[in-house]
C-alpha cells in the first residue's frame, strides 16, 4: 500500500473515485464537480483542500480529501476529512488505517485540536472502522445544510 499527496495529473482519477463514492453512498447523480473545479480546489492559489491518493500494486485504489477548519473553543485548527473511498477490491488491505495514520500525523504536525468527519448512519462497516480508530459519534449535534436556491435567496436577503 502506497499513500502519496495528490499531484495535478491525479485530478481525473480522484474525480472518478468521487463518482464511485457517490454511487456507493446511493447518490449517483449528486456529483456536480468538474475536473477544472477539482484542480482549482486542490492546486489553485490558495488551495482549498488537500488530497491523498492510495495505490496498491501500482494502481490507484482510493483517495481522501480533507481541509483545515478552525475551532473557536480551542483556538486551534482542525482537519475535516470530507471524503475517503477505497475501491472494493482493495478494502481490507490496510488503506483506511494508513490514511487515518497519515491524517493524524498531519493534524499533530499542524497542532490541530481534532480530526473530524461524517459517516452515513447506515454504513456500519465505516462506523465500526472509525470507532476502532478511537472516533466517537457526536449524537448531541445535528448537521444542517443550506443549498441551491435557498442559499441564493438567503444571500439576497429574500428570506
Which cell goes with 150?
435557498
Catalytic residue among 80, 102, 130, 144: 130
From the number of C-beta atoms within 10 Å of its C-beta (0-12, 13-18, 19+), residue 137 rates as exposed
Q: In 3-state terms, what secondary structure has residue 12?
A: helix
User: Is 130 a known active-site residue?
Assistant: yes
In DSSP notation, 25-70 reads: TT-TT-----HHHHHHHHHSSS-S-EEEEEEETTEEEEEEEEEEEE
Q: In 3-state terms, what secondary structure has residue 82?
A: strand
117 phi/psi in degrees, rounded to 5:
-170, 165
Distance CA 108, CA 10 (A): 26
Residues identified as active-site:
130
Amino acid at each position: 500500500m502506497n499513500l502519496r499527496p495528490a499531484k495535478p495529473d491525479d485530478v481525473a482519477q480522484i474525480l472518478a473515485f468521487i463518482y464511485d463514492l457517490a454511487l456507493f453512498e446511493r447518490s449517483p447523480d449528486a456529483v456536480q464537480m468538474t475536473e477544472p473545479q477539482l484542480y482549482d480546489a486542490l492546486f489553485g492559489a490558495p488551495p482549498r483542500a488537500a488530497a491523498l491518493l492510495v495505490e496498491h500494486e501500482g494502481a490507484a485504489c482510493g483517495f481522501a480529501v480533507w481541509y483545515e477548519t478552525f475551532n473557536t473553543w480551542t483556538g486551534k485548527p482542525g482537519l475535516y476529512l470530507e471524503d475517503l473511498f477505497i475501491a472494493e477490491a482493495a478494502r481490507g488491505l490496510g488503506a483506511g488505517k494508513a490514511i487515518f495514520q497519515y491524517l493524524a500525523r498531519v493534524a499533530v504536525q499542524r497542532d490541530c485540536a481534532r480530526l473530524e468527519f461524517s459517516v452515513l448512519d447506515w454504513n456500519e462497516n465505516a462506523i465500526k472502522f472509525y470507532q476502532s480508530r478511537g472516533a466517537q459519534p457526536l449524537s448531541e449535534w445535528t448537521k444542517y445544510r443550506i443549498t441551491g436556491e435557498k442559499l441564493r435567496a438567503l444571500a439576497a436577503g429574500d428570506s
